[in-house]
Amino acid sequence: MVEEGYAKHEVFKIATWDRWMVFVSGPDMNDEISKLPDDVVSLDESIKEFIYSDYTLGPNEHNVTIPAIHGLLTRNLSDIFPAIVDEIELVLEEMFPSDSDWVEISNLPNLMLNVIARIANRIFVGTAACHNPEYLKIVTTYATNVVKAKLIMDLCPKMFRPLIGYMLPWRTRAMKLMEPFLSDVIADHQLLLDEPGSDLQDGPNKGDFLMWLAKGVQELGSSSELMLSNVLVANFAGLHTSTMVSTSTLFQIASTPECVPDLRKDILSAIEGQGWTRNAVNMMGRLDSFIKETQRFQELGIVGMRRKTLKTVILSNGTVIPADVNIYAPSTATHHDSALYDDPGAFKPNRFFDKGIETGEPSQHQFVSMSPEYIAFGHGKHACPGRFFAVLVIKTLIANLLLKYDLKMGGDGSNPKTLLIGTSAILSRKAKVLFKRRQSIDA
């Protein structure tokens, strides 16, 4: 239905059981929506309504996670990269098969959720908690329960949602369970803020995510409860998308084994002479293109951008959209538009790599790059702020997996279908992927 509307109209609406969804079509409209002022349309209000964040993530005014992501994860990626590499090496040794024969793994999304949780929490809270299975179970269960809570709230009549929202137990329960694991380290970080040398721009703590959270929370009126709440927000934001992207990429690799030799050559060429550095990962152009094309081809939901109107909006084509309406840019339809992509129904692993060479601007076609034609991370000033960290983790993880493992799909070898519920996607938990440890890392 969305694809049909996209093909016929610049702006169209679709009725759901409790609301209208207004969609805009094409790059020009995507660009226009992304440039509307924040006092006219709001990403925060749209997300708040979509995920019921007051009940699932906590009040937005208490959220200091996004500034911390801007402050740490984007500006200090080179400083935290050695910890990412170290944790990936540990994860591969402890959570993946060591057998030189084929080993079948079912429910790959669940495995990857736990893998991403360990890597992300190495950065979020440090080694002690990230290596504790009980702590990891708390944060992964919470991330899953946020999605569950959204589905429950979607099914409730609007008038009952505030009551049901306050009755949802998962956020409060997760904070209570987390406290014993983090209380001491949170207290230590809050004390460190008052000591000389706690400069978060250039000091020794600039790569410490908890210090950034502690500083943000201190400005709100420091409390350990706010710290715990923001650690949960960081986990939901950091785990969900990264798990989806890494899992779908492994499904694609396993179902297109003919692509693997070129990917391994790309990886080995990048790390030759410099080892595992952030710069080396940035040089893995074919791997980057493969991951980006996987997300274009498979899709992890049908919406790439969303805004809620705070005032009446008059678009350039004359369409009038009243206040209190959610506007969406459909990613699936955009990414399968034949006017934007040659043969969009085909998976072309080097699509974006070749485009970068063709235009002479490879950086403009990397996975983290934004454009109104590719909106997997949104577009414009409100594009996903954590995409640089997420893509760095995903690329480094997939690159290490490719060098150390052969993999193939079970069954008929085809890529498993993604289930769509509303605008959200759920990856197959029944598909089986086989892994085999390689004897050497040569291409």
| Paired tokens of 55 | 């009940």
Q: State the DSSP code for 297.
A: H
Q: Give the three-state DSSP class for 283.
A: coil
Cross-strand bridge partners of residue 287 = none
Measuring CA to CA, which residue among 1, 48, 60, 14 is closest to residue 328?
14
Q: State the DSSP code for 341.
A: S
The residue to which tokens 């893995």 are assigned? 284
Would you put residue 408 in left (φ > 0), alpha (ψ -120 to 50) or beta?
beta
**How far apart (Å, rounded) are the C-alpha atoms in residues 63 and 47?**
13
Residues 30 and 334 sit within 8 Å (Cβ to Cβ): yes
| Paired tokens of 428 | 């197959």
Q: Give the three-state DSSP class for 272.
A: coil
Asked whether residue 130 is marked as a ligand-binding residue, the answer is: no
**How far apart (Å, rounded) are the C-alpha atoms in residues 298 and 288?**
15
Pairing mode, if any, of strands 326-330 and 20-24?
Answer: parallel
Q: How many residues does the chain have?
A: 443
**How far apart (Å, rounded) are the C-alpha atoms in residues 226 and 336?**
42
Q: Give the three-state DSSP class for 135.
A: helix
| Paired tokens of 338 | 């034949």
Q: How many CB atoms lie within 10 A of CB 382?
A: 18
Q: Give the three-state DSSP class for 268.
A: helix
Angle, helix 224-255 to helix 387-404, in steps of 10 degrees: 40
| Paired tokens of 126 | 């440090």
Geometric angle at alpha carbon 424, from 299 and 366, rounded to 5°: 35
How far is the CA of 282 from the CAs of 82, 271, 279, 347, in angstroms?
15, 10, 5, 22
Geometric angle at alpha carbon 179, from 175 and 185, rounded to 5°: 130
**How far apart (Å, rounded) are the C-alpha atoms in residues 171 and 155?**
20
The annotation places the binding site at 384
The annotation places the binding site for heme at 384
